[in-house]
Amino acid sequence: MKKDNGIYHSLTTRKQQGKKSFAVLIDPDKVNEGSMEQLIKLAVDAKIDYFLVGGSLVVSDYIDECVQYIKHNCDIPAILFPGSPSQISKHADALLYLSLISGRNADLLIGQHVVSAAVIKQSGLEIMPTGYMVIDGGAPTTVSYISNAAPIPADKNEIAVCTAMAGEMLGMKLIYMDAGSGARRPIAETMIAKVAAAIEVPLIVGGGILEPEKAYLNCKAGADVIVIGNAIEKDSSLIAEMAAAIHSVPVNS
Ligand code: 1GP
């Protein structure tokens, strides 16, 4: 985490420079070597900043292979976004060490971390403590069901702000606001803006973003990293448009 050339360093440096980042989420259940080859080519051409690998429920054992495939075929960093401690690959560049601070499920706040602590520490991965906030996206998503925890209501900006502030003061190095993969409604810009104004650490935003315009507006509102999974699974050519929109946000936004 303290490495000058690490992923967290790159995230904070980009934030300080006012640069917005684009992370493509890869669900290892939904890819194979053929689709990965195509995805990586498009991602390199579009100059995306990061890959996230994982999901709330992964049923295949393709995570390690998926991460290695990325590492062997491009220079884009691969960051683990694990739904459970079993979703680990020591070949990744870093790990979002998620604590579900929007929920009151002790297991996802600290329980699973205790059980897996020794293995995670031995992995040698760069660990990025992340306050993970699920925001209601208008319909149950896999993350809301699996986490067994109520999401923050979409119109309760003050709850989101206070949750993010508490997470930061507890030492979280990143805040990730997620409406859940495939959310019917992505997170509103007003909520993103209020949370962004209340914290100093980089803010990751994802869930249900389908249009480049929405990605752009989220960045203008204060998101530092935009995560997109579903929309790109459905149409991988969207990568270029999304990257262009995110990277076109003026640095003083
Ligand atoms: C989910 O934020 C990510 O955890 C991405 O969501 O798949 O809806 O883009 P989508």
pLDDT tens digits, residue range 213-248? 999 999 999 999 999 999 999 999 999 999 999 999
CA-closest residue to ligand 1 atom 2: 206
Q: Give the model confidence (pLDDT) of 55-78 as tens digits.
A: 877 777 789 999 999 999 999 999
Mean per-residue pLDDT for 125-145? 95
Mean per-residue pLDDT for 131-147? 93
Asked whether residue 1 is assigned to any structural domain, the reply reads: no
CATH of the domain at 223: 3.20.20.390
Q: What radius of gyration do the chain's Cα atoms show?
A: 16
Question: Is there a contact between 184 and 139 (Cβ–Cβ < 8 Å)?
Answer: yes
Q: Is the CB–ligand 1 distance for residue 186 below 6 Å?
A: no
Asked whether residue 49 is assigned to any structural domain, the reply reads: yes
The number of the ligand 1 atom at minimal distance from the alpha carbon of 210 is 9
Q: Is the CB–ligand 1 distance for residue 228 below 6 Å?
A: yes
Asked whether residue 120 is assigned to any structural domain, the reply reads: yes
Q: Is the CB–ligand 1 distance for residue 28 below 6 Å?
A: no
Asked whether residue 50 is assigned to any structural domain, the reply reads: yes
The pLDDT of residue 84 is 87
Please tell me the distance from the alpha carbon of residue 243 to that of residue 239, in angstroms, as a whole number: 6
Asked whether residue 62 is assigned to any structural domain, the reply reads: yes
Q: What are the strands, taking DSSP E only, across the chain?
A: 21-26, 50-55, 78-82, 94-100, 126-134, 174-178, 203-206, 225-228
Residue 1 pLDDT greater than 60, yes or no: no
Asked whether residue 196 is assigned to any structural domain, the reply reads: yes
Asked whether residue 103 is assigned to any structural domain, the reply reads: yes
Number of domains in the chain: 1
Asked whether residue 107 is assigned to any structural domain, the reply reads: yes
CA of 207 to the centre of ligand 1 (A): 4
Q: Write out the residue range of the structural domain in which residue 137 sits.
A: 7-247
Mean per-residue pLDDT for 163-178? 98
Q: Is the CB–ligand 1 distance for residue 206 below 6 Å?
A: yes
The residue behind tokens 């309760």 is 156
CA of 117 to the centre of ligand 1 (A): 26
Q: Give the model confidence (pLDDT) of 103-118 as tens digits.
A: 999 999 999 999 999 9
Dihedral, CA atoms, 226, 232, 238, 241, nearest 10 degrees?
10
